[in-house]
Amino acid sequence: MVFWPELLFSQDALQGAMSDAPKKEAPPQYSEYGSDLCLQCHGEGSAFPVLSIFKTRHAETSDARTPFAGLECESCHGPGALHPEAVMTGEKNIGIRSFGLGARTSIREQNQVCETCHKSKLGMAWHGSTHEREDVSCASCHRIHAERDPVFSIKDQPKVCFTCHQQKRADSFKASSHPIRYGKMACTACHQAHGSNTEFQLIRQTLNETCYSCHTEKRGPFLWEHAPASEDCTLCHQVHGSNHPSLLSKRPPFLCQQCHSRAGHPSVSGLPSGLPPSGGSALLLARGCMNCHTQVHGSNHPSGARLTR
């Protein structure tokens, strides 16, 4: 198994860095002093809070795979021996790798650094995923220097995603929505962060399977299925938020009339006047078609073929 960015430094350098031997065995472009050098300038009181990284998994020196068991800061930021001098002489290229949105380092190079250690955790799906293809960096979702990376918190994760997916933020505040705004659900309730082989990188094989993982009662099997419900929940629902009740994409009866013609509604004996098919006004009242067709997701009643019970 390869834990170390082989591209970046030799096996000798690795051994040098991991043993108790003096770090001067490392190639000259790496600092002899490890993080001690960096912390001279990036310690307490510097603009960017560097020190909190020592409270994270990456700083667990007892785990030989972590950066801090090896070349410390430089396992991510790259060889930095010449960086202090470059900074002092006011050079533009300040001789160090930087991360995240707006960083000098290319996103491809940034991600390679992380991937050399995280290939197995990322799984196969990352490569070719929409985020990878759109040049989204690991560091635009992960806060490496924060004691707690916000993407692991149900409450804070959506804010990370909203930095790019602003429409989803607006959706989450609509009258009907999944309880994201209350910090009770994160985007990863339905989405696989690093990609999946499903459309829209969903957590299950199909869209409906994703919904059934919580809404089990909608799975059926039903004696009388309603074809669109077993086919695709988003034929009627807007999952991220809607201003219609129950996350509906349209208000009934218009919702239903996208597929069912009103003209075709059969005469029903015993219906009060004004109800279908003679007039349309009752359809616009209250629950519209669902006044009678209550079982829109499917019915298990022996005489529920018309989804009325």
Per CB under 6 A, 23 contacts ligand HEC: no
Q: List the one residue out of 152, 196, 156 whose CA is nearest residue 180.
A: 156
Q: Can you tell me which of 181, 191, 244, 309 binds ligand HEC, judged by CB under 6 A?
A: 191
- Smallest distance, ligand HEC to C-beta of residue 23, A: 12
| Distance in angstroms (rounded) separating the CA atoms of residues 122 and 116 | 11
Phi, psi of 7, deg, nearest 5: -60, -30
Rounded to whole angstroms, what are the CA distances from 153 to 53, 73, 149, 158?
17, 25, 8, 9
Per CB under 6 A, 268 contacts ligand HEC: yes
Applying the rule CB under 6 A, the residues between 275 and 304 that interact with ligand HEC are 275-276, 282-283, 287-293, 296-297
Residue whose CB is less far from ligand HEC, 20 or 121: 121
- Which tokens go with 21? 């031997």
In this structure, the chain runs to a length of 309
Per CB under 6 A, 270 contacts ligand HEC: no
Per CB under 6 A, 52 contacts ligand HEC: no
- Smallest distance, ligand HEC to C-beta of residue 284, A: 9
Write the interaction track for ligand HEC spanning residues 229-248; mark x where CB under 6 A is met and - where it is not: x---xxxxx-xx-----xxx
**Chain centroid, CA 226 distance in Å:** 31
Applying the rule CB under 6 A, the residues between 111 and 170 that interact with ligand HEC are 111, 113-115, 117-118, 121-122, 126, 130-131, 134, 136, 138-146, 149, 151-152, 157-158, 160-161, 163-165, 168
Applying the rule CB under 6 A, the residues between 54 and 83 that interact with ligand HEC are 57-58, 63, 65-67, 70, 72-77, 80, 83
Per CB under 6 A, 214 contacts ligand HEC: yes
Residue whose CB is less far from ligand HEC, 20 or 149: 149
Q: List the one residue out of 72, 50, 75, 40 whose CA is nearest residue 59.
A: 72
234 sits in the region (left: phi over 0; alpha: psi -120 to 50; else beta) called alpha
Q: Can you tell me which of 27, 179, 183, 279 binds ligand HEC, judged by CB under 6 A?
A: 179
DSSP string, 17-82: HHSSS-GGGS-TTS-SSTHHHHHHHHSTTSSS--GGGGGSGGG-TTSTTSGGGTTTHHHHH---TT
Residue whose CB is less far from ligand HEC, 20 or 272: 272
Q: How many residues bind ligand HEC (CB under 6 A)?
A: 136
Segment lying near ligand HEC (by CB under 6 A), choices 11-19, 21-29, 254-262: 254-262
Q: Can you tell me which of 6, 19, 24, 41 binds ligand HEC, judged by CB under 6 A?
A: 41
Rounded to whole angstroms, what are the CA distances from 133 to 50, 127, 195, 199?
30, 8, 11, 15
Specify the residue for token string 């060889």. 79
